[in-house]
C-alpha cells in the first residue's frame, strides 16, 4: 500500500500534468482564435465577405480560454491579488490567510458550479444566433472552468498546509 507521501507526490504530478495539458490546450485555442481573426479581417476588408458564424466561433473559443486560463493561472500563482493588508501580517498569519483564501476561492467556485447546472439546463438548449448550436456548449465552460479552479484551490490549500507541517 502506498504511503501518504507517495500519494501526495502522485497527486502533485497529476496536478502539474493537468496544468501542462491545459496550457497546451490554451495555446492551441489562442492559435485558432488568432488565425480565425486574421482570416475574418482579410475576408472582410479585401474580399468584402466573411465566414458565417466565424465571429461567434471565435467568441466561444475565447470564453473557454478565459474559463480554463483562470484555473491554470491560479495553480501557477499568477492570478491577480491585492495583498496590501495581508502583507502586513506576521508570516504565520500570512500562511493562514493564504490557506483561507484558497478555501474561499474553492467554495465560491464550487458554488458557481452547483448553481450553473440548473441555469445551463434551462437556457442551454436555445440555439446560438448564427451557428445555431446549443448555447449550452458555450455555457458549460462556466462549470468546467470554475470546477478546475475549485480543484486547484483545494489542492493548493492542502499542499500549503502540508508544506507548513513538514517544515518546507
pLDDT digits (tens, 9 = 90+) for 11-59: 889 999 999 999 999 999 999 999 999 999 999 999 999 999 999 999 9
% of the chain residues with pLDDT over 90: 73
User: What is the average pLDDT across 95-117?
Assistant: 94
Q: CB count, 10 Å around CB of 77? A: 8
Output the pLDDT for position 29.
96
Sign (positive or negative) of CA dihedral 55, 58, 64, 69: negative
CA atoms within a 13 Å half-sphere pointing along the CA-CB vector of 70: 21
* Contact between residue 86 and residue 124 where contact means Cβ atoms under 8 Å apart: no
Question: In the chain, how many domains are there?
Answer: 1
Cell of 55: 465571429
Q: Is residue 167 within a helix (H) or strand (E), and if so which, with residue range?
A: none
Domain that holds residue 103: 4-166
Q: Would the pLDDT of 167 be above 60?
A: no
Inform me whether the pLDDT recorded for 66 exceeds 80: yes
In three-state secondary structure terms, 127 is strand
Q: How far is CA 114 from CA 64, 69, 111, 123, 152, in A?
A: 18, 20, 5, 15, 17
Biggest CA–CA distance in the chain, Å, is: 66
Residue 101 grid cell: 483564501
pLDDT at 85 over 90: no
- For the entire predicted model, the pTM comes to 0.87
Question: Is 168 a residue whose pLDDT tops 50?
Answer: no
What CA–CA distance (Å, rounded) separates 57 from 161? Answer: 42
Are 142 and 64 in contact by the 8 Å Cβ rule? The answer is no
**pLDDT over 70 percentage in the chain:** 94
Amino acid at each position: 500500500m502506498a504511503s501518504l507521501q507517495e500519494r501526495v507526490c502522485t497527486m502533485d504530478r497529476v496536478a502539474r500534468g493537468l496544468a501542462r495539458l491545459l496550457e497546451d490546450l490554451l495555446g492551441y485555442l489562442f492559435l485558432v482564435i488568432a488565425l480565425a481573426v486574421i482570416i475574418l479581417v482579410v475576408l472582410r476588408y479585401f474580399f468584402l465577405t466573411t465566414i458565417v458564424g466565424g465571429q461567434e466561433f471565435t467568441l466561444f473559443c475565447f470564453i473557454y480560454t478565459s474559463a480554463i486560463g483562470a484555473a491554470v493561472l491560479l495553480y501557477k500563482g499568477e492570478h491577480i491579488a491585492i495583498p496590501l493588508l495581508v502583507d502586513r501580517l506576521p508570516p504565520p498569519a500570512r500562511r493562514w490567510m493564504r490557506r483561507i483564501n484558497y478555501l474561499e476561492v474553492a467554495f465560491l467556485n464550487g458554488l458557481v458550479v452547483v448553481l450553473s447546472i440548473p441555469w445551463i439546463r434551462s437556457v442551454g438548449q436555445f440555439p446560438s444566433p448564427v451557428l445555431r448550436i446549443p448555447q449550452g456548449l458555450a455555457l458549460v465552460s462556466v462549470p468546467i472552468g470554475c470546477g478546475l479552479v475549485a480543484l486547484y484551490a483545494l489542492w493548493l490549500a492542502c499542499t500549503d498546509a502540508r508544506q507548513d507541517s513538514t517544515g518546507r
